[in-house]
């Protein structure tokens, strides 16, 4: 379900009735065109659904997978790529049931069908693969992907971990639905996004089936494994599914119940919660150092504080349902989620939004912090730096002060509804803010989002 980066199929002029017609087919590009991660994603097709069947045993640390991917060619294709690291070995690839030629290099799995795919053709690829998965180290030094814990896997895939454990079109502009069938030793639980469909134990293994019916970007997928306590309950109208590391059981007693009040408050401000279930994974993974807003089921390296819970749940609207178009636009995720933390703290009577703004704004004008404009953090190493979060949130507060509460919350609700399950960029947010408020806001956004230096009030 790629929307924005799909390269328009090249229009070739060819002589009729010559073999040249068949040669119009071109290879799909090996990247989606994102300057921060040039190899991420692929051109020439649009993935619609992933059906992943995985077996993993933390003992031997071996993953065996079958990925069935339904896609549509967006150009005539002579061959195309999926993103998958070469440390995992691909055993076979079929395309519409027929064996296809393939090769692996770097993080690209190159697939050549027996005959070219015409533009617009729906096709199905099945990739069988296995190996010992390894996480990647991101440009900022953090771990990402299939991250081992002492009892399983902390699986967090922002910005580029998905390629470490399944093949796909791993740029965020190609959202797709998912079904996961994961078999693990019976002492372990496998938890993924969406709804738990079934759990069947046979002999020494348990198979979990999860279904994620709303479109999802690869970086928001999780299949996490551990000695978890799994709960699946209804709380205040939400289906809340939680997995808690048994080591954290005592401090996580009310984990499921804590979701509803936050979601109710955010729904009242941003519009309806966008997914069929919610919940979270509280793992014991102190070495990871961050939490991630995996779709419908954020993953935490410990039991989350109220503020962290609010941050990851706010991402369900801002980041997960409405997803940026390029990594450069990451402030649309982190600035919004940080602002939502301020809103939740205010609602709870802990701290007013104004006081959170004031504290962030109090950084001295010569502080390094002010040198990074949030809408262009300067490269993949800076994706999760403070200015993206705090100056992003301050931008929203400055907007609110300028347009007033009524317009401001209307802007947020319209953003969430107009781009539900889609992608949108900073320019679209600015245009929407001007449309809803009826104000010219270039100067405000220029100062807060694009120019280095401390904006004046």
Region of 52-60, 115-123, 136-144, 373-381 interacting with ligand TRP (CB under 6 A): 136-144
**Minimum distance from CB of 157 to ligand TRP (Å)?**
9
d(CA 337, CA 298): 13
Cβ neighbours for 386, distance < 8 A, ≥ 6 positions apart: 369
Element (H, E) at 400: helix 392-403
Site for ligand TRP in 358-387 (CB under 6 A): 384
Q: Please pick, from the candidates 140, 195, 306, 376, the single residue that binds ligand TRP as defined by CB under 6 A.
A: 140
Region of 163-171, 184-192, 289-297, 448-456 interacting with ligand TRP (CB under 6 A): 289-297
Phi, psi values for residue 169, rounded to 5° = -100, 90
For residue 39, what are the CA distances in angstroms to 171, 220, 397? 9, 18, 35
- Judged by beta carbon, residue 183 or residue 338, the one nearer Zn ion is 338
323 counts as binding ligand TRP under rule CB under 6 A: no
Residue pair 8/76 in contact by the 8 Å Cβ criterion: no
For residue 100, what are the CA distances in angstroms to 79, 95, 178? 10, 6, 23
Residue pair 109/167 in contact by the 8 Å Cβ criterion: yes
- Judged by beta carbon, residue 215 or residue 301, the one nearer ligand TRP is 301
Helix residue ranges, H only, 235-377: 259-270, 306-314, 331-347, 353-361
d(CA 143, CA 384): 13
**Minimum distance from CB of 110 to ligand TRP (Å)?**
28
Which residue bears the tokens 């007693």? 253
**Minimum distance from CB of 144 to ligand TRP (Å)?**
6
Region of 17-25, 238-246, 258-266, 287-295 interacting with ligand TRP (CB under 6 A): 287-295
Residue pair 138/162 in contact by the 8 Å Cβ criterion: no
**Minimum distance from CB of 297 to ligand TRP (Å)?**
13
- Judged by beta carbon, residue 43 or residue 304, the one nearer ligand TRP is 304
Region of 108-116, 170-178, 285-293, 405-413 interacting with ligand TRP (CB under 6 A): 285-293
Region of 99-107, 137-145, 244-252, 269-277 interacting with ligand TRP (CB under 6 A): 137-145
For residue 453, what are the CA distances in angstroms to 116, 327, 369? 52, 22, 9
- Judged by beta carbon, residue 171 or residue 311, the one nearer ligand TRP is 311
Q: What residues form DSSP beta bridges with 247?
A: none
242 counts as binding ligand TRP under rule CB under 6 A: no
Cβ-based neighbour number of residue 19 at 10 Å: 8
d(CA 369, CA 88): 40
Residue pair 331/369 in contact by the 8 Å Cβ criterion: no
DSSP-assigned letter for residue 267: H
- Judged by beta carbon, residue 158 or residue 214, the one nearer ligand TRP is 158
Size of the site for ligand TRP (CB under 6 A): 13
Region of 103-111, 183-191, 284-292, 426-434 interacting with ligand TRP (CB under 6 A): 284-292
48 by DSSP, 3-state: which? strand
Binding to ligand TRP by CB under 6 A, coded x per residue (else -) over 329-348, reads -----x--------------
Region of 121-129, 138-146, 277-285, 352-360 interacting with ligand TRP (CB under 6 A): 138-146
142 counts as binding ligand TRP under rule CB under 6 A: yes
**Minimum distance from CB of 222 to ligand TRP (Å)?**
12
Binder of residue 292, out of Zn ion, ligand TRP, none (CB less than 5 to 8 A by kind): ligand TRP
292 counts as binding ligand TRP under rule CB under 6 A: yes
d(CA 86, CA 105): 6
312 counts as binding ligand TRP under rule CB under 6 A: yes
**Minimum distance from CB of 106 to Zn ion (Å)?**
29
81 counts as binding ligand TRP under rule CB under 6 A: no
158 counts as binding ligand TRP under rule CB under 6 A: yes
Residue with smallest beta-carbon separation from Zn ion: 337
Where along the sequence are the contacts to Zn ion (CB under 5 A)? Answer: 334, 337
Sheet with strand 89-95: strands edge to edge = 98-99, 89-95, 122-131, 62-73, 45-57, 176-185, 205-216, 195-202
Q: Residue 338 has which token pair? A: 């940080």
**Minimum distance from CB of 247 to ligand TRP (Å)?**
23
- Determine if the peptide bond prior to 72 is cis (ω within 30°): no
- Judged by beta carbon, residue 123 or residue 290, the one nearer Zn ion is 290
Rg (CA), the chain: 22
Cβ neighbours for 249, distance < 8 A, ≥ 6 positions apart: 229
Angle at alpha carbon of residue 313, lines to 55 and 335, rounded to 5°:
115
37 counts as binding ligand TRP under rule CB under 6 A: no
Residues that bind ligand TRP (CB under 6 A): 138, 140, 142, 158, 290-293, 311-312, 315, 334, 384
């Amino acid at each position: 379900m790629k929307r924005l980066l799909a390269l328009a199929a090249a229009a070739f002029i060819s002589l009729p009735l010559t073999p040249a017609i068949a040669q119009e087919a071109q290879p799909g590009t090996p990247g989606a065109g994102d300057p921060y991660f040039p190899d991420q994603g692929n051109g020439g097709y649009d993935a619609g659904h992933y059906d992943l069947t995985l077996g993993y045993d933390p003992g031997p640390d071996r993953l065996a997978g079958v990925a069935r991917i339904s896609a549509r060619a967006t150009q005539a294709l002579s061959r195309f790529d999926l993103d998958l690291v070469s440390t995992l070995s691909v055993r076979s690839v079929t395309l519409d049931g027929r064996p296809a030629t393939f090769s692996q290099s770097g993080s690209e799995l190159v697939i050549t069908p027996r005959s070219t795919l015409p533009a617009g053709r729906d096709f199905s690829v099945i990739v069988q693969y296995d190996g010992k998965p390894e996480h990647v180290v991101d440009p900022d030094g953090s771990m990402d992907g299939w991250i081992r814990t002492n009892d399983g896997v902390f699986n967090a895939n922002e910005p580029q971990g998905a390629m470490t454990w399944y093949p796909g079109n791993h740029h965020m502009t190609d959202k797709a639905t998912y079904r996961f069938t994961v078999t693990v030793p019976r002492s372990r639980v496998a938890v993924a996004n969406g709804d738990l469909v079934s759990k069947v134990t046979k002999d020494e293994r348990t198979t979990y089936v999860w279904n994620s019916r709303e479109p999802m970007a690869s970086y928001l997928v999780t299949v996490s494994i551990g000695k978890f306590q799994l709960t699946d309950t209804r709380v205040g109208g939400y289906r809340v599914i939680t997995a808690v590391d048994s080591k954290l059981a005592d401090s996580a007693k009310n984990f499921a119940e804590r979701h509803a009040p936050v979601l109710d408050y955010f729904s009242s401000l941003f519009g309806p919660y966008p997914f069929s279930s919610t919940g979270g994974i509280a793992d014991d993974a102190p070495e990871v150092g961050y939490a991630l807003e995996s779709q419908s089921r954020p993953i935490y390296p410990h039991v989350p504080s109220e503020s962290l819970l609010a941050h990851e749940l706010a991402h369900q609207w801002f980041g997960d349902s409405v997803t940026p178009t390029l990594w450069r636009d990451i402030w649309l995720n982190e600035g919004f989620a940080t602002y939502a933390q301020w809103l939740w703290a205010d609602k709870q009577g802990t701290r007013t939004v104004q006081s959170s703004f004031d504290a962030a704004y109090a950084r001295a004008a010569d502080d390094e912090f002010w040198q990074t404009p949030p809408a262009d953090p300067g490269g993949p190493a800076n994706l999760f730096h403070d200015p993206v979060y705090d100056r992003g949130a301050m931008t929203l507060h400055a907007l609110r002060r300028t347009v007033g509460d009524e317009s401001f919350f209307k802007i947020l609700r319209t953003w969430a509804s107009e781009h539900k399950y889609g992608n949108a960029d900073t320019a679209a947010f600015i245009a929407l803010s001007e449309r809803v408020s009826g104000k010219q806001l270039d100067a405000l956004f220029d100062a807060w989002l694009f120019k280095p230096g401390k904006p004046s009030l």
